[in-house]
Amino acid sequence: MGSMNDMAAARRNMVASQVRANDVTDLRIQDAMGELPRELFVPQAVRSIAYASESLPLGRGRGLMEPRNFAKLAHAARIKHTEVVLIIGAGTGYGAAVLARLADTVVALEEDQAMAREANTLLVNVGADNAALVTGPLVQGCPDQAPFDVIFIEGAVETIPETLFAQLKEHGRLATIVVEHGVGKARIYTKAGGVMSARTVFDGMAPLLPGFAREREFTF
């Protein structure tokens, strides 16, 4: 067959060409993405291109971030092994599995019940024992488990609800890709003295998460 070997080769190539080549120097991220079987987290139909440099459809209007943008965003979030991370839009759990290798604890929030069930199974299968799946509306975050050191929105947004910033600890970071006028900018928001400041870390797109679209204004 050789398919397992092909996948392992594709995984090594992904880390070399999409992660390491894009200044993701954190070896923990390189190792996690080099070891986790990304192909298990995507539908059968796109499994053969699981390591391609593009976002992949997960079905049900959702997608998996392309490896480069995910890795760069995770790198910019500077997650420490002592920290608690909330992932919003966990999908089938790939991002949660990667970040579970970086953090102390990961709370993975998903609102699609079927995806949440799949993510739960996959996280167990890959040994991500420190990741806990929670179901609920993505835009509400997870107030009963707050505050978090890091909130990682796994996908693109047009707006960020204030309630999410309220769920960050002092010096906590929120990482996401913000789309403005069709252009995606990866941003890290940091809380200091209760005030949020933002910095743009790179340009890149990701599948838009449901519920985070800007209200459309009517023009006459």
Distance in angstroms (rounded) separating the CA atoms of residues 214 and 137: 17
Q: Within the chain, which residues score under 70 in pLDDT?
A: 1-2, 217-220
- Supply the pLDDT for residue 1: 38
Question: What pTM did the predictor assign?
Answer: 0.95
CB hemisphere CA count around 59 (13 angstroms): 11
Residue 219: its pLDDT value, please?
62
The Cα 15–Cα 9 span in angstroms is: 10
**pLDDT per residue as tens digits for the range 130-159:** 999 999 999 999 999 999 999 999 999 999
Q: What is the pLDDT of residue 215?
A: 78
Q: What is the CATH number of domain 55-203?
A: 3.40.50.150
